[in-house]
A and B are shown apart, each in its own frame.
Chain A
Amino acid sequence: MIHGQLFGFMFLMWILIIIGGGITVTILGPISISGFGELDSFLSSASKGLIAIILSVIWILVLNKMKNLIFRKTFSN
């Protein structure tokens, strides 16, 4: 049973990677800051970096929730 849960959790990780990729392309891709002269590319990259970090943290939190949900019985034993 626990082995089935492991396969299931890995499948969920994969789904999260695919969805995370979609969000990254949709949100990060179009970001372009202008009006700051030479700082434009730096500010664009910095904002992309910041959003990427926030997305990664959300990804880890979601994964952690799923881990607790799937393996709750195993952990409590």
Chain B
Amino acid sequence: MNELILPAIISCIIAFFSVYVMMPPLIKYLGKKNLAVRDIHKKGEVMVVRPGGPALIVGVIASEIVLYGFLQLNEILAIILTTSIAFLVGYIDDRKVMGGWFKPIGLAVAALPIIFLGAYDSDLAFPLFGEVQIPILYLAIIIFMIVITGNTVNSIDVANGIASGFMVIASFTLSCALFILENYEVAIVSLPLGFISLAFYKYHKIPSKIFPGDSGALTLGAMYGAIAIVGEVEVIAAVALLPAVLNSFLFLATVKKIVDHRELNEKPVELTKDFKLRATKNKHARISLVRLIVAKTALSEKEVAIVIFKLALFSAFLAIITTFMMEFKI
């Protein structure tokens, strides 16, 4: 354990500062190239640049390569490759809006390095009940996991600071779970994700100076999923991600097909005159987490973010309970 402290500190510093330092020049560059979109929750024509994904992937690769230098684990290579492919998928979608099929298929391809590098254990562990051996079925779970985590993190990117703030809570929870389960090496490999999200949150929080774009959201989501698989904490990871899973579930339950949200005309929330968010009265609009949050009262963007962070903290608490339940068998 002691020999892991130095790599952990170095990789976390690199993860945080590479994103923190890279972001201002990236914002300037994207602004010059006019790669900006309107912030629809703000008064007037407020334009925000995107995507922040390139800085995030630099942070991931730099910190994880340093860790690979120290630990030389196949799991680290799998995380780097999976996250990089997910970034590319998102970046293509940022530059040229693709159909609803593109991201799920792209993320399924991103999961392949985990399989080819053998960076997984095919036993799926559940709290209280133990493990189940599913050697072939587990391959499908790997692909499913990366597709789900990538898309759910992307779907929670609904307002300023929410995706990055949510990922700070979820990823540090996952690291805590790995430490509790004494899976120290993967715990240290997972720490950079929290620090990358934290550094990005500084620029993404209200009022956003940059949006993550699909490249940023898929980078964070795919890395989270890859860590869950190589760390054998799939169920705990799913619990920590519950608010985002709930948001995706509500989307699918009302839309009833896999489609990009940009292809839907009816918006689930609308703006009041004082720029608060309120639920739309349009019965054909999809149900979303934010629509439920503002169903009774109109809330400001910041207030909505606080409610989502409270939900994230609650799911983090449930994830830690789930971690302790892993130690017990009925």
Contacts and interface: CB of A to CB of B under 8 A. Distances in A.
A25 B126 contact: yes
A49 B139 CA distance: 11
Interface residues of A, number: 34
Interface of A: 1-3, 5-7, 9-11, 13-14, 17-18, 21-22, 24-26, 28-29, 41-42, 45, 48-49, 52, 60, 63-64, 67, 71, 74-75, 77
A14 B135 contact: no
A10 B246 contact: yes
A21 B235 contact: yes
Contact of B242 (A14, A28, A48, A75): A14
Given A6-B307, A10-B318, A25-B132, 8 more contacts: A1-B296, A10-B314, A11-B318, A18-B322, A24-B124, A29-B133, A71-B292, A74-B295
Nearest to B238: A17
Given A13-B246, A29-B133, A45-B136, A24 B126 contact: yes
Given A45-B135, A77-B295, A22 B128 contact: yes
A25 B242 CA distance: 22
A49 B287 CA distance: 31
10 contacts: A2-B292, A3-B310, A14-B239, A17-B239, A21-B128, A22-B126, A22-B330, A24-B124, A25-B131, A64-B253
A21 B245 contact: no
B133 A49 contact: no
Contacts of B296: 1-2, 74
A21 B287 CA distance: 28
B314 A21 contact: no
Interface string B113-142: 000000000001011111111111100100
Contacts of A17: 235, 238-239
A3 to B, nearest CB: 6
Contacts of B158: none
